[in-house]
Structure 1
C-alpha cells in the first residue's frame, strides 16, 4: 500500500500483563509482508537512563540541552526534555501507512482490546472506540468483531480496515465485509482541527465530545482523526471521508485566525452549500455565547455526504450537535 499523507493510528489496549507487546511484535513482520509500513509508539512510566549511540544523552540533557539527536546511515534517534502527546509522535511518521500505539487506553484513537481471562474479562477502554476485541476466550463483547489471539488474524483485520479507511476496493476473491449494525442515524466521521493538539502541546478536548454525542444519538462513528490547520491536508481528508460517511463533522479551525481554514477546506472538497443549516447552527450558538458572531463555519454537500464545520469549544458542542442532528433527522443520505 502507498503511504498516506497522514498515517492511520490504532491503539492496542488491555490490562497490564495481557500481552500487548507480544501481539505488536508478532504483527510487524506480517504487516510488512502485506506492504503496510508500520511504526510503533510505546508509552512507558519512566525511560531508563542510558547513552544514545555516539552521544551521552543524559549528560547533555543534564547540562542544559533542550534535546539530543543522533543518526547514522541506518537509524536516527531524538531525545527531548519534557513530555509530548501521542499525536506529536504520530506526526513524525508521515511516511508510514499505520502507527500502532501501545496502551493509550483512554485516548481518542480507534482501538484493539486484548481480553484474556483470568488477566482480564472486559475491555478497559471506552467501548465506543473499539474496532475489535482480540481474545483467546469463547465470548464476544460490545457488538464489535471478535478476533482470535493470532497475529495472522489481527494482521488480516488491520489490512482490511486500512483499505476501507482509504476507500480502496477489496481484492479479488476477498470475502464480503460483515454488515454494519443497524443504527438510528447513519455513518459519521469526526475530524478535529487543531495545530496545538496535532503537535502534542495539549489534548484534543472537542473530538471526543463530538464522538460521544453522535454515539448517544444513534450514529455510528466510522472514523476519527486529528489534523493541523493545513488547507490542503484538510481538503484531501474531507474528500476521503465523504466516500465512507454520511455526515462529516470538523471541530475547530473555523475562527478568525489567519491559520483557521476548516471552512475553506470544506469548500474545496464539496460541491454545494447548505447556508440555512450553518445559519441555524450559528443562531443556536449565539444563544449560548457571543463568540458565535466570529464563527465562519459552513455546511456543504459532497456527493451523498454532508460536511459541517463546528467550533472547537467542547462546552457548546452538545447543543450544536443536538440542533444539527434534529435538522438532519433519520434520513442520512443527502
Structure 2
C-alpha cells in the first residue's frame, strides 16, 4: 500500500483538507484509508455501553461489530504508542493510506499552513527536510516553500498526493 502524510501544526486545517481530498481521490478510483494520530486521549466508546464496560473490566481489545461497521479498540494501558509500521499492518487492503499526524515519520508529506494561525511552518525545520514535499496554503507562500499549492486546488493536491505517495512496508 502507498502512504502519504498530511502534516501541520494544530489548527491549520488538516482534517478540513482531508474531508475534501478523500472524496476527490475516491472519484479517481482509489480506495483510501486513514490513520490519524492525536496527542489527546481519544474515546470512541461511551460509558454505560457493553463494550465500554468490558474495556473498563480489563479487556486488552474489544472488537465491536454492527450492521454497518466494525471497530477494534485496543487499550495501551501504559504501554508505548505503537509505531506507524504496526498500525499500517492493521489496515485492510487499500490503494492509499493517508496519515494525519506522525509529523516526524519518514514518509512524504504535504504541510497545511495558514499564516493567519500565527504558527511557524514545519518545512523550515531541519528535522522535516526532505519529508515535506509540498505546502498547501490559503495565502501566497514564501519563496522557500516546497512545491506551493493552494488549499482550494483539490486537483493539484490530489496530483501531489498520487505523485509522491510511497510504498511503505507494514513490517518497517
Same fold (TM over 0.5): yes
CA 94–22 in structure 1, closer or farther in 2 if over 3 Å, else same: same
TM-score, scaled relative to structure 1: 0.44
Aligned match for 2:6, one of 12, 29, 35: 12
For the pair 1:47 / 2:47, whether they are aligned, the reply is no
Aligned match for 1:153, one of 150, 153, 156: 156
Aligned match for 2:21, one of 20, 27, 34: 27
Q: What is the alpha-carbon root mean square deviation over aligned residues?
A: 2.5
Asked if the contact 2:108–2:133 (Cα under 8 Å) also holds between the matched residues in 1, the reply is yes
For the pair 1:135 / 2:137, whether they are aligned, the reply is yes
* Count of residue correspondences: 161
CA 41–108 in structure 1, closer or farther in 2 if over 3 Å, else same: same
Please state how far the C-alpha of 1:85 moved relative to its aligned partner: 2.6
Give the structure with higher Rg (CA). 1
Please state how far the C-alpha of 1:226 moved relative to its aligned partner: 3.9
SS in 2 for 1:128: coil
Paired with 1:123 and 1:141, the residues of 2 have a C-alpha distance of: 15
Asked if the contact 1:57–1:79 (Cα under 8 Å) also holds between the matched residues in 2, the reply is no
Which structure is higher in helix share?
A: 1
5+ residue gaps, structure 2, are none
* Larger relative contact order (Cα-Cα within 8 Å, sequence gap ≥ 6): 2
Paired with 1:51 and 1:16, the residues of 2 have a C-alpha distance of: 26
CA 70–134 in structure 1, closer or farther in 2 if over 3 Å, else same: same
Paired with 2:146 and 2:29, the residues of 1 have a C-alpha distance of: 26
Q: Which runs of 4+ in 1 moved over 3 A?
A: 140-143, 224-227
SS in 2 for 1:118: helix
5+ residue gaps, structure 1, are 1-6, 166-223, 230-334
